[in-house]
Amino acid sequence: MDEETKQKYLEAGKIASEALAFAKKKLKPGIPLLELADSVEAKIIEQGGGIAFPINLSLNNVAAHDTPAPGDARTLGEHDLLKVDVGVQVDGYIADCAFSYSADPSHAKLIEASKAGLDAAIAAIRPGAVSREAGKAISDAIAKRGYNPVVNLCGHSLDQYTVHAGQEVPNVPHGSYVFKEGDVFAVEPFATTGEGIVRDHAECQIFRVAEGKSRLAQSRLLVKNAEKYNGLPFCRRWLARDFPSTPYDLAISDLVRCGGLEDYYPLAEKTGELVSQAENTLLVTADGCIPTVKLPA
């Protein structure tokens, strides 16, 4: 990795740190999720960053990929466990990071378990280490606290304008990838009181342009509009802003059917149990790794 690229990853991390701190200050029971989403995304842009993906605000048993719908009326409840997952990009170089929050102190230990898994992964990742070793460190840290890691979610390598760049860091002892200097990974342990399996849940809000083509004019217009995201994910909420008087649900359905859009459904723990998350972006250095984001305390 050249110095210019490294600095862009670090700048994305700095902006993401500010966005997470801003989100944490706004969190309190009763805040509308739509207000939180719009304000945090506006904060990223205000600081000169680009949005790498729609902010994920996932409640309780939903682990990831939930973002408010247009007109979403949900508010944060006193006993809710919320995952705040933010993506920032600078010239396509991404900081992907998350923390968990609840006003209910009974969730504190579960929140701490995913943080401990992340800390263990950071200590384990260095050139020559194998991804299954990082996965073992994560799962051991979570199990030590009496919880289960989510097995079918994992961290992932990052590349320019690419959130999932092909390599994985599992939350269990699995995988054979050997880390090398210059790698960039988003590592995201999930801890749960359930079985540790997630599955698709509710209506899909997040999409990314894929290879398939459509003949429908409305679908082609949507794809044309999405070119400004440079292949990164977007959401229905943004489409409602861009096309305030134009129905776009038909275009989404058409594009998903023909392979023109990849869909990212919310992912919920299959037994309905609570899930916590902690995530940071790591630059692998000669003797370890550097987290690019300062997560809220």
**pLDDT by position in tens, the chain (length 297):** 899 999 999 999 999 999 999 999 999 999 999 999 999 999 999 999 999 999 999 999 999 999 999 999 999 999 999 999 999 999 999 999 999 999 999 999 999 999 999 999 999 999 999 999 999 999 999 999 999 999 999 999 999 999 999 999 999 999 999 999 999 999 999 999 999 999 999 899 999 999 999 999 999 999 999 999 999 999 999 999 988 878 899 999 999 999 999 999 999 999 999 999 999 999 999 999 999 999 998
pTM across the whole model: 0.96
188 belongs to the catalytic site: yes
Please identify which of the residues 85, 168, 183, 269 carries the catalytic annotation.
Answer: 85
Residues linked to residue 117 through DSSP beta bridges, in sequence order: none
C-alpha–C-alpha distance, residues 36 and 49, integer Å: 18
Q: Domains in the chain, start-ordered, CATH in brackets?
A: 3-200+267-291 (3.90.230.10), 206-264 (1.10.10.10)
156 belongs to the catalytic site: yes
201 belongs to the catalytic site: no
Residue 292 CB: number of other CB atoms within 10 A? 26
Please identify which of the residues 18, 188, 254, 269 carries the catalytic annotation.
Answer: 188
C-alpha–C-alpha distance, residues 57 and 217, integer Å: 32
